[in-house]
Chain A
């Protein structure tokens, strides 16, 4: 929890991140990641956070998948997979009242680029390594 004067996650997180459902296709996820220039998409099912999909997960398994598949375009391949097959689950999350320092430590320790911000069971935001870099840069 934040001590007096410490920056909290709430102050630098992005509110209302774009989300997808577990049954959306990788094609939709790929479009979202490419067009939105984002790297991480929280996955919600009935309002509950069930996973996170990152650009990294999208690229990695594609290599393996494509090795076994012939005569399909990348687009067709992506369309044939659902988000739930590749998303990372369970997910490390953080409270909006946690300090920036705690968020940074958790990301470094777990080697992750982003943390969904969860208040109770509600997704309220997303904090990424880029948000933390910007904060350091603007300090």
Chain B
């Protein structure tokens, strides 16, 4: 599918979204950083900080088993800290495997689904990213930022 930029001026009030049909595969990150369920939170934290990313798909034996977001990390840290004292945040994070805090109830999307469908899912489910899955394997990740960049690029 190919979407071309609309150049003619649309009369006010009749403006229509022309590009919502674009497939997710065109705006997704194709090789997202992944981690395994036995990896610990300190590693996830480093990746999130250094890579300036907010979501890490968790893969086990080639299969998507969860997603870890910056938000989950904060939550885990707050909970852990309330019960434990005298440890640094880093030590705390190192003691928790990802499988204990990752979200396992996964909402995924197909690469051929439209950007419109991805936006709708993210808005209704209140989630910041969708793993893109085809034939059982992870092929990409699409985030709210990808959709913002897309809206910023394309004509409305």
Contact = CB atoms under 8 A, between A and B. Distances in A.
Q: Size band of the B side of the interface?
A: 35 or more
Contacts of B152: 101-102, 104-105, 108
A16 interface: no
B89 to A, nearest CB: 6
A132 B150 CA distance: 11
Most B CB within 10 A of own CB, among A7, A67, A102: A67
Contacts of A64: 89
Nearest to B52: A111
Contacts of B89: 63-64, 67
A100 B153 CA distance: 11
Contact of B145 (A56, A62, A111, A136): A111
B123 A130 contact: yes
Given A104-B149, A108-B149, A5 B116 contact: no
Contact of B123 (A4, A66, A70, A137): A137
B148 A129 contact: yes
Interface stretch (B5-13, B105-113, B131-139): B5-13
B35 interface: no
Interface string A31-69: 000000000000000000000000010011011101100
B9 A4 contact: yes
A122 interface: no
18 contacts: A56-B74, A62-B78, A63-B77, A63-B89, A66-B81, A70-B85, A101-B153, A104-B150, A108-B145, A108-B148, A129-B148, A132-B147, A133-B119, A133-B120, A133-B122, A133-B144, A136-B151, A139-B17
